[in-house]
A and B are shown apart, each in its own frame.
Chain A
Amino acid sequence: MPRWIVAIAAVGALFIVLPIVGMTARVDWGNFGALVTSPSAIAALLLSLRTAAASTALCLLLGVPMAVVLARSRFRGQRLVRAFVLLPLVLPPVVGGIALLSTFGRRGLLGQTFEVLGIQIAFSTTAVVLAQAFVALPFLVLSVEATLRASGARYEAVAATLGAAPNTVFWRVTLPLVVPGLVSGAVLAFARALGEFGATLTFAGSLEGVTRTLPLEIYLQRETDPDAAVALALVLVVVAVVVMVATHRPRGLS
């Protein structure tokens, strides 16, 4: 490897790490414990963990079949479909929030139907989960699809020629093959859900214990108590890093 590559890589790493170090330098360590254990901070952290777990589950449920379809079939407009699936990745989250609002909101496309059924999504924790799943889903789909393409369809073809039904092939061959991609995709989706801000603020609102997740609490605390905001920001960084390090092991690196 040429040395200049290492040098530029080091600059890149510093570019990401330095701001985090800078933030850490601002932490009021004397009051750190009190700041991060205030009732509103605890409520926000628990809500964030709960909703991120729920939206990751939703992503797994919807994302794995999407990835299988995208990786294992060819159909007209496939590139367009993939582009749409990846859209939340590049869309500003606030745009996602507006889109969700005009679909699941009270006056939205589906909102009136839900209202008739007695289901109210606006201002509920469900809205938070939907917002997070919307922005996190592409991470899971991309990751699982990449793993599926890398593993190839040969094992599935062999299983089918040996007489396995499509269901058996999916559960016994396809799914075990994508476990690594599934795990890393789920971790990335969880991390993304944990950081979700714009779509939640636009679509779900902000109320302690119901819709005010950790990023929203940080944003609010910044108005009056920057020390609390910095302390909570550090908590969010630590949670995200711990989740990524503990579970994200790309194949070939472990």
Chain B
Amino acid sequence: MSARRHDARRYLRASLVVLAAAALTTACAGPAGAGGSASASAAASSGSSTTAASRAPETLTVFAAASLKKTFTELATEFEAANPGVTVALNFAGSSDLVTQITEGAPADVFASADTKNMAKLTAAGLVTGTPTVFATNTLEIAVPPGNPAGVTTFADLADPGTKVVVCAAQVPCGAATATIEKATGVNLTPVSEENAVTDVLGKVSSGEADAGLVYVTDVAAAGTSVLGIPFSESGSAVNSYPIGVVAGSTHAELAGLFAAFVTGPTGHRVLAAAGFSTP
């Protein structure tokens, strides 16, 4: 065998090994939890902490449902401004993902869930101090692409055979709410897709792939002009509650309690209401 041919063989073998490794990793890798951590305006708080340090520098870790991203980012910034020296680290993901993370030992001080079911899971695991408080409620709304190509006006219109409807799967909170409304109204939907997250439903609608989708009122508000919201009276039969609680074993329990009170208090009300949430 000539040297050149030998080299070519080696090249072939090496590239196959690389390919095999790449294929195995991608084939076996599950989806990573959708979400990320962010430190809300760390620069702003570190600036003020040097001037009016009423507390030793502390970092409060808040795990919040993905649908709270906008409101909690804003609330964290306001909380930092009101409590110099405090930095709020935020981790957003689906509520069930967050429960899994906390039960696996992730260091969370506060947990804000998008439904009572996931909060109950954490409480049952003995990982919540005291009783969680409901700080907001959310209801479903029909989202359609701008121009409403399928002419949807009522919930019953969604059952039209020609209308492509996308909903959340029954396993996730928005899907459970959808199922409750279907049951209450007797309208049976035949969706073209049952998505894992409300953001996936919204994406299918705003891209025009679907004629309509069922998402939360707050999602329609946050989506701006990319979708059109159509409220429907039957949405009241499925009201989703958002509870907040202090995680047991928090090393900043006092501060965590303060943050929870901040969210359930006037500032929380104002920020949440502006985003379309109802507040109790």
Q: Report whether A220 and B8 are in contact in the complex, using a CB–CB cutoff of 8 Å.
A: no
- Give the number of chain B interface residues (Cβ < 8 Å): 42
The interface-forming segment of A29-37, A56-64, A222-230 is A222-230
Contact A101 B207 (CB under 8 A): yes
Are B208 and A107 touching (Cβ within 8 A)? yes
Q: B-side binding surface: helix, strand, loop or mixed?
A: helix
A195 and chain B: residue at smallest CB distance: B27
- By a CB distance below 8 angstroms, the chain A residues around B207 are 101-102, 105, 107
Q: Point out the residues of chain B lying under 8 angstroms from A208, CB to CB.
A: 194
* Alpha-carbon distance A248/B20, docked complex (angstroms): 9
Cα distance, A248 to B19, chains bound together (Å)? 11
A206 close to B12 (CB less than 8 A): no
Say whether B209 contacts A101, CB under 8 Å: yes
A207 and B24 form a contact (CB under 8 A): no
- B30, B166, B204, B208: the one within 8 Å of A219 (CB): B30
| B100–A236 CB distance below 8 A | no
Cβ of B192: which chain A residues have Cβ within 8 Å of it?
122-123, 205, 207
Q: Do B16 and A250 have beta carbons less than 8 Å apart?
A: yes
Interface membership of chain A positions 204-222, coded 1 if the CB is closer than 8 angstroms to chain B and 0 otherwise: 1111100110011011111
Q: B12 to A211, Cβ gap below 8 A?
A: no
Are B30 and A233 interface neighbours, CB within 8 A?
yes
Contacts of B10-24 to chain A: CB distance below 8 A:
11-13, 15-17, 19-20, 22-24
User: Given the complex, which residues of B lie within 8 Å of A174, measured CB to CB?
Assistant: none
Residues of the B chain whose Cβ atoms lie less than 8 Å from the Cβ of A135:
26
B56 at the interface (CB under 8 A from A): no
Interface residues on A, range: 35 or more
Distance from B107 Cβ to chain A, minimum over Cβ atoms (Å):
21
Q: Is B268 an interface residue (CB 8 A)?
A: no
In the complex, what residues of A have CB within 8 A of residue B29's CB?
195
> Out of A122, A191, A206, A251, which one reaches B196, CB within 8 Å?
A206
Give the interface SS of chain A, mostly helix, strand, loop or mixed: helix
Do the beta carbons of B23 and A192 come within 8 Å of each other? yes
- B261 lies within 8 A of chain A by Cβ: no
The residue that A223 contacts in the complex, of B22, B172, B191, B204, with Cβ under 8 A, is B172
Residues of A within 8 A of B12 (CB): 146-147, 149-150, 181, 250-251
Chain B residues lying within 8 Å of A181, measured Cβ to Cβ, are: 12
A195/B96 in contact, CB under 8 A: no
B24/A251 in contact, CB under 8 A: no
B22-41 interface with A by 8 A CB criterion:
22-31
| B:87-117 near A, CB below 8 Å | 94, 96, 100
From A102, A197, A250, B17 is in contact (CB under 8 Å) with A250
B26 close to A192 (CB less than 8 A):
yes
What is the CA–CA distance of A251 and B17 in the complex, to the nearest angstrom?
A: 11
The listed residue (B19, B30, B31, B169) touching A206 by CB distance below 8 A is: B169
Bound complex: CA of A223 vs CA of B13, how far in Å?
41
Which of the residues A184, A197, A205, A250 comes within 8 Å of B31, measured between beta carbons? A197
A240 surroundings in chain B (CB, below 8 A): 24, 27-28
Complex contact A142–B27 (CB within 8 A): no
Ordered by A's residue number, 8 sampled pairs between the chains whose C-beta atoms are within 8 Å are A16-B25, A142-B15, A143-B15, A143-B19, A150-B8, A150-B11, A188-B19, A252-B9
Q: 6 tightest CB-CB pairs across the interface, nearest first?
A: A205-B193, A195-B27, A123-B192, A150-B8, A150-B12, A107-B208
